[in-house]
Amino acid sequence: MASLGKKFEEKFRQQWAETVPDSFCYRLNDQMSGYLGSSNISDFICYKQPDLFLIECKEHQGNVLPFSAFRQYEGLTQYADVKGVHAGVVCWFSEHDKVLWIPIKTFMQLKAEDKKSFNIKDIDKYECLELPSKKLRTFMNTDYSALIEYYKEK
């Protein structure tokens, strides 16, 4: 049986297509080669003119998303300052029924402050976006157009 995280990735792809019309969402294949240093930059590459999104999807129980669960951190930091590119994590905090967009710059700030994780209790302290979501039986039905609007306003 697939993990909640893998199922969440599939839900992300479906809901992106439903809520962000005229966009592109491509799922990068999981790296299973086992070669040291072989990994993808993110789970998804999404595009909605004029913005490109490098999105890592995570499902996490509890209050924190630790850096140890986020292997793509180093790779995504390379794109933190590229105009029109938005790198980060869409994290479903499953015990809290919340889906957040956490930009890579937020993780960079946390690391600079010697933090080891992003805590959901700090959503008002650090840059992130709670995406509009409605609880279904297990998963959330999320409107990813809010992510597009978020960057239109910046």
The tens-digit pLDDT sequence of the chain (154 residues) is 358 889 999 999 999 999 999 999 999 987 554 444 547 899 999 999 999 999 999 999 999 999 988 899 999 999 999 999 999 999 999 999 999 999 999 999 999 999 999 999 999 999 999 999 999 999 999 999 999 999 997 7
pLDDT of residue 57: 97
Q: What contacts 24+ positions apart, CB below 8 Å, involve 136-144?
A: 138/4, 139/7, 139/8, 139/11, 139/92, 140/11, 140/92, 140/97, 140/99, 141/15, 142/11, 142/12, 142/15, 142/19, 142/99, 143/15, 143/19, 144/12, 144/15, 144/16, 144/19, 144/20
pLDDT of residue 31: 58
pLDDT of residue 3: 82
Domains of the chain: total: 1
Range of the domain at 136: 4-152
CATH number of the domain at 29, please: 3.40.1350.10
